[in-house]
Amino acid sequence: MTNFVTVATFTYSFEYAILRIILDQEGIHYVFENDMMLSVFPFYSNAIGGISLKVHKNDVARTKQVLDEFYGKQSHLRIV
């Protein structure tokens, strides 16, 4: 895990459900830290700092580009 960097933080798992599929399609190596903990105790999100998206340091630039495209104002996949 020393080669992985946090690039985004989410409060609930539904916020990144589609993003996970896109990251898989792009071949980006990622881990969602605290995912299982918050699936059991969803109200602990603020207490433990949310769910962290960690990607391999070689994939950081591409991941930021994917995040910008996915969460951008022009995206048809944007969560309102």
Average pLDDT, the chain: 85
What distance in Å separates the CA atoms of residue 38 and residue 16, rounded to the nearest whole number?
13
User: C-alpha angle 25/46/48, rounded to 5°?
Assistant: 80
| CB within 8 Å of 66: residues ≥ 6 apart | 19, 22, 23, 26, 28
pLDDT tens for 44-78 read 777 888 889 999 999 999 999 998 888 776 655 55
Among residues 53, 57, 56, 80, which one has the least CA distance to residue 67? 53
pLDDT at residue 27 in the model: 95
Q: Decide if pLDDT at 23 tops 80.
A: yes
Give this prediction's pTM.
0.79
